[in-house]
Amino acid sequence: MDYKKVLPKYRKDRTRLIEILKEIQSAEGFISDKAVQAVADNLGLSRAEVEGVISFYHFLSDRPLGKYVVHLNNSITAEMAGRERVARTLEQETDCRFGQTSADGLVTLLETSCIGMNDQEPAALINGVVFTGLTPEKVKKIVAWMRQGKLVQDMVEETGDGANSHELVRAMFRNNIRKTGPVVFGDYSTGQALTRALSLTPEAVIDEVKKANLLGRGGAGFPTGLKWEFCRKEKGEQHFVICNADEGEPGTFKDRVILTERPQMVFEGMAIAGYAVGARLGLLYLRHEYTYLRRYLEHVLQKMREQGWLGQNIAGRGFAFDIEIKMGAGAYICGEESALIESAEGKRGEPRDRPPFPVQKGYLNLPSTVNNVETLATATQILARGAGWFRSMGTQVSAGTKVLSVSGDCDRPGIYEVEYGLAVRELLDMVGAKDTLAVQVGGPSGNCISEAGFGRKICFSDLATGGSIIIFNKSRDLLAVVRNFLEFFIEESCGWCVPCRAGNVLLKKKFEKIASGRGTAQDLKEIEAWGKIIKSMSRCGLGQTSPNPVLTTLANFNDLYQSLINKEADFIPEFDLNRAVAEACALTGRKFQEEHDHA
């Protein structure tokens, strides 16, 4: 690749660093030393800085990869759906281990965090193409195709429902929309809401959203109208609307389905937000895992421009607004709004200190409102149908509906748009869940509830959720669930602050001690205390919620932990002498004799 020819089109724009690196990687398979130097020189950065960005993201690589790169999802529902057998088959068929490239350079096997296919696991990305419902048999077929040199796109034999079958998408999976509601999946005609918004003043638009009591759908629940108002009031030469399409919370896939079936509603919401806050440009920050949607979304944007819903003179009212798509590169933390902004600026996705908040100093240090996909779609419907209509649904505090992504042990996993205030038990009936042991509400960072909590309601004042609902039946090992979640947070911590970077590793170590039966009552006290330290001292929402898998199971499944600990012993050392000796004996071929009296 001739970097001198490729780089000029980016006009030395540092905010496009990730885009540049992705183009190089897709042409050359990886980002070589030479490429790093060329990019650094072009953008006026040090090599160290460019290396810092590459090494931050899952999907950028500074070492050569195979012709086919498999990223097998490692979320808990994948494990439940037989991921282990799929992984072993992949290793056998390719003669390669995870984390490595096969000797013939054909395949690289890697793991990745949730790719938004939790209802159709085990799933993997192969050269960016999504494969769902994998089985050992399918893996054998795919590897055979790889040996024949077949294009990955051509391995998709059947396409899914709705826009998944669109020629620009051609995805093999289904939307699995099981229950539509009146808001996100309700009646909708593009432009109606925007036309009404443009007939009002920006302040009146904000007022309407405030009256509707729209709270952020990404999980944090911040009032959207208030956010827009703060953003509007900030002075800056330009304002931005950013749509957060980086749903990375394991078990969440509703934004994928909304973007597949209702992209116009989301884009219209961005234009409405743009009008409200005084922005001319909107950015859709799309997670790397959803790259397959990009061409389709560009096509939708182009159509909306042609129809006059985006562009220089929207609806003939002189309002100018357009939308660009910015791609992520694989990092859960980028769902956090300030980390997302850093990433959109082409940097490592490390959260910022607040204040200043993004509404004050966001993208390019200019006032920016960052809203979730579903929030923006919902705002469109509020403008189309009015705040009164919206408030007639849900509860007093939590108005409207919520789109839930349901996965795990149930007959009908998929997408459910429900009114706020629905009890967990009602949801379990709706999705066909039987013998339920636990429900993970809000993903790993949320709450793991037991039967005693099934009467609780899904809403901001009780069980808040960004949309992830994972169900575990009584045959499941809850410890495996907690372990999977803890590993997820350890991997996805950006590493900036000490409590999150080191604390989560230590928390997992303590958890393993307890899970292995070597814990005492003191260990239970300590694991709870450590969890609280991490939550209190961490810099951003990741560390402030990462101990939740332990803390909420400790609270709701205390009997399980009590049954694991040694009630006689006051203290059991971290170091297991017998195990260490047994290991050494095995290595040296000696006979192992257990020692009993070390006390």
CA angle in degrees (0–180, nearest 5) for 119-120-122: 120
CA dist 406 and 465 (Å) reads: 12
What is the closest distance, in whole angstroms, from the C-beta atom of residue 588 to another protein in the complex?
A: 22
Are 526 and 506 in contact, with CB atoms under 8 Å apart?
A: no
Bridge partners (DSSP) of residue 245 are: 286
Distances (CA, A) of 541 to 225, 354, 474: 22, 12, 31
Judge residue 260's burial from the number of C-beta atoms within 10 Å of its C-beta, 0-12 exposed, 13-18 middle, 19 or more buried.
buried
Task: Yes or no: say if 98 and 110 are a contact pair by the CB < 8 Å rule.
Answer: yes
Cβ at position 26, least distance to another protein in Å = 22
Q: What are phi and psi of 282, to 5 degrees?
A: -120, 145
According to DSSP, residue 421 is labeled: T
Q: Are 298 and 290 in contact (CB under 8 A)?
A: no
Give min distance, CB of 538 to another protein, in A: 7
Specify the 3-state DSSP secondary structure of 398: coil
In this complex, which beta carbon is closest to another protein, that of residue 349 or of residue 414?
349
List of residues contacting another protein (CB under 8 A):
44-49, 51-52, 55-56, 331, 348, 350, 353, 355, 490-499, 501-503, 505-506, 509, 526, 530, 533, 536-539, 574
Please report how close the Cβ of residue 535 comes to another protein at its closest, in angstroms.
9
Rounded CA-CA distance 221/378 in Å is: 13
State the minimum distance, in angstroms, from the CB of residue 354 to another protein. Answer: 9
Taking alpha carbons only, the member of 227, 469, 485 closest to residue 372 is 227
Nearer to another protein, 37 or 563 (CB): 37
Rounded to a whole number of angstroms, the minimum distance from the CB of residue 504 to another protein is 8
CA dist 227 and 167 (Å) reads 38
State which residue, 157 or 574, has the beta carbon closest to another protein.
Answer: 574
Residue 377, Cβ density class (10 Å: 0-12 exposed, 13-18 middle, ≥19 buried): buried
What is the Cα 274 distance to its own chain's centre? Answer: 25
Q: What's the one-letter identity of residue 203?
A: E
Q: How far is the CB of 154 from another protein (least distance, A)?
A: 35
Smallest distance, another protein to C-beta of residue 237, A: 22
